[in-house]
């Protein structure tokens, strides 16, 4: 049985539509008109034990809404879902002890307490023994490099240190399912990399089911083999990240390095994405890569050629743009 399974999961909101101006406000007191917004529209997927899945979409696509329904914070308008065999919005204690939801823009730790004391409160809530607590916090804080910050007030921690403490709090009770909503948002490069390395190591060692939303494609590329794309509440794609490139990337980047520096015009060969006197990067159709290479080699003395896929974020952005234009 899948660890997470949804079938036609739907969440609909009614939004008040107000006419402009004072007269519009007065009319709204007597008669209101509403628009129906489908934050999730027939969402269906399943995730097996140990999978680390990227859940991607533009702002307002429905990612956080789905995560909140799967964690029991929201009741759906329709459809079904099971998390570890439980219906999440029934909020059974057995399920609550087996998952964690970490929202990158929300704090769960007490702002005016040292991190260790906030974690101690969680220990009592989950009924963890002092010995187990010491061992778990010691291991996680060492992996995240924040052992020396446990006695610092949460409000005095940097954003990166605070996020690491939030991760420790989320994993303190050894959940089987972890929902992560933008866990690296606002972090510097070093802190974000440390969090990614930790998540990869923890997932591999504990076989924890992880759903990760992020606007940073490096998070997805380093952590997730499988991605689910959602837009306007509907699933657009569900499968390996590499398949997105194969199916939706129409171009490649071909980079040439020349023996001598000179001013050259390569616009006839494709779109120039980067150029120096001794190098040029061209975006060309996938089917024209070999032909472009032959043409440039016939014209210039080339010392090196590299062929790369388009950045994955550009491919996904184009996919969403294409879907929006079709809609």
pLDDT in tens, 23-32: 666 666 667 7
Region class of 4: left (phi > 0), else alpha (psi between -120 and 50), else beta: beta
Model confidence pLDDT, tens digit, residues 165-205: 999 999 999 999 999 988 887 788 888 888 888 999 899 88
> Which residues have a Cβ under 8 Å from the Cβ of 93 and sit 6 or more positions away?
none
Token look-up 């997932």 returns: 203
* Domain spans, the chain: 4-245, 250-309
Number of separate helices (H) and strands (E) present in the chain: 11, 13
Q: 250-309: CATH homologous superfamily?
A: ACT-like. Chain A, domain 2 (3.30.70.1150)
- Whether the predicted pLDDT of 320 surpasses 90: no
Contact present, 167 and 200 (Cβ < 8 Å): no
Contact present, 293 and 280 (Cβ < 8 Å): no
Tell the CATH topology of 4-245. Answer: Rossmann fold (3.40.50)
Average pLDDT over residues 130-153: 91
Model confidence pLDDT, tens digit, residues 252-282: 899 999 998 888 888 888 899 999 999 999 9
pLDDT of residue 104: 72
Average pLDDT over residues 155-166: 88
Q: Which is more confident, 81 or 246?
A: 81
- Cα separation, 291 vs 307, in Å, equals 13
| Angle value at C-alpha 89, between 97 and 230, nearest 5 degrees | 100
- Whether the predicted pLDDT of 66 surpasses 70: yes
**Phi, psi (5° rounding) for residue 148?**
-80, 0
């Amino acid at each position: 049985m899948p660890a997470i399974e949804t079938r036609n999961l739907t969440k609909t909101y009614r939004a008040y539509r107000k006419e402009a101006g004072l007269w519009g406000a007065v009319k709204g007191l007597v008669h209101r008109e509403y628009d129906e917004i489908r934050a999730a529209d027939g969402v269906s997927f399943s995730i097996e034990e140990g999978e680390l899945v990227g859940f991607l979409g533009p702002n307002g696509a429905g990612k956080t809404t789905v995560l909140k329904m799967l964690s029991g914070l929201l009741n759906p308008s329709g459809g079904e879902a099971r998390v570890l065999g439980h219906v999440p919005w029934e909020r059974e204690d057995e399920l609550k002890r087996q998952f964690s939801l970490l929202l990158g823009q929300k704090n769960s730790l007490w702002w005016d307490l040292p991190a260790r004391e906030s974690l101690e409160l969680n220990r009592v809530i989950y009924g963890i023994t002092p010995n187990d607590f010491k061992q778990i916090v010691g291991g996680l804080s060492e992996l995240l490099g924040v052992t020396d910050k446990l006695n610092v007030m949460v409000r005095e921690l940097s954003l990166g240190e605070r996020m690491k403490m939030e991760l420790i709090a989320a994993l303190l009770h050894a959940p089987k399912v972890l929902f992560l909503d933008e866990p690296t948002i606002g972090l510097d490069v070093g802190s974000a990399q440390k969090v990614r390395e930790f998540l990869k190591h923890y997932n591999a060692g504990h076989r924890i089911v992880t759903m990760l939303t992020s606007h940073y494609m490096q998070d997805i590329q380093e952590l997730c083999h499988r991605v689910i794309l959602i837009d306007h509440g509907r699933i657009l794609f569900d499968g390996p990240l590499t398949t997105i490139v194969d199916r939706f990337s129409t171009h490649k980047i071909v980079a040439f390095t020349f023996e001598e520096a000179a001013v050259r015009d390569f616009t006839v060969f494709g779109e120039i994405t980067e150029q120096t006197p001794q190098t040029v990067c061209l975006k060309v159709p996938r089917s024209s890569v070999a032909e472009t290479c032959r043409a440039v080699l016939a014209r210039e003395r080339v010392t090196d050629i590299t062929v790369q896929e388009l950045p994955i974020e550009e491919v996904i952005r184009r996919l969403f743009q294409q879907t929006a234009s079709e809609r």
